[in-house]
Amino acid sequence: MRKTFTVRRALSAGAAALAALSFAACSGSGDEGGHDMDPMESESATADAAFNDADVTFLQMMIPHHEQAVAMAELAAEHAEDPEVVALAGQIAAAQQPEIDQMTALLEAWGEPTEMEDHGGMSMGGMATEEQMAELAAARGADFDKRFVDLMIVHHEGAVDMAEAHHAEGENADATAIADAVIEAQTAEIATLQEIQARV
């Protein structure tokens, strides 16, 4: 399930650190509350936007997490044999690269670094090791398909765990919308990956 987000830049330099991110679901499941405001209401919401350390850490961690998923998906475009693996990998890359751009823009609007220095004890679960990525890059055909599916299931489960953990600590509505999208899209993709896993 592909999700699209649209980043709104702050309307003035003074509001730049508190920029808002509008989120819309391509599936037609409905916009998050407050995204249908008129311009005056939108400007007010932008000025009043709040975020905390948990929001920042979540986005900083999810960016490299997504980047690895995109790298894995790009390998699938070259080395996978199973048509469903190729199709799902394309879906993952098409959804997650725009999300990387949107999360980066939101952090920049807040005046926060896009790279994390300290996880604060939070775990970036599901990440493949360098060795696993090297083995995936060297694999071809059916062997690649099996490695890709096995790694991506764990990777997606880690992303869902991170998104659910954000709900317990985060306060920014836009970061929460991103977490919601991760949970919804990647839970559905895990189910598809498990179906493929059963036959490859």
Show pLDDT as tens, one digit a residue, over the chain (200 residues). Answer: 333 333 333 333 333 333 333 333 333 333 433 334 344 343 334 434 799 999 999 999 999 999 999 999 999 999 999 999 999 999 999 999 999 999 999 999 999 999 887 555 556 889 999 999 999 999 999 999 999 999 999 999 999 999 999 999 999 999 999 999 999 999 999 999 999 999 98
For residue 94, give Cα distances in angstroms to 1, 28, 87, 132. 10, 18, 11, 23
Question: Which residue segments constitute the domains of the chain, with CATH numbers given?
Answer: 51-197 (1.20.1260.10)
Residue whose tokens read 């996880």: 119
Separation between Cα atoms, residue 83 and residue 52, nearest integer Å:
42
Lookup: tokens for 95: 């959804």
- Fill in the DSSP letter of residue 129: P
The predicted-structure confidence for 128-157, as pLDDT tens digits, reads as follows 999 999 999 999 999 999 999 999 999 999
Helix axes 141-169, 130-138, angle to 10 degrees: 150
DSSP-based three-state secondary structure for 195: helix
Give the whole-angstrom CA distance, residue 180 versus residue 167.
Answer: 9
pTM, whole model, 2 decimals?
Answer: 0.74
Q: Which residues contact 96 (CB under 8 A, 6 or more apart)?
A: 66, 69, 70, 73
Dihedral sign computed on CA atoms, order 62, 158, 83, 27: negative
Question: Dmax of the chain from CA atoms?
Answer: 56
Count CA within 13 A, CB hemisphere, residue 170. Answer: 22
Long-range CB contact pairs, 42-48, < 8 A, 24+: 42/8, 43/11, 45/20, 46/8, 46/10, 46/11, 46/15, 46/18, 46/19, 46/20, 47/15, 47/18, 48/18
Q: Which has the closest alpha carbon to 59: 48, 71, 51?
A: 51
User: Which residues, at least 6 apart from 101, have a Cβ–Cβ distance to it below 8 Å?
Assistant: 7
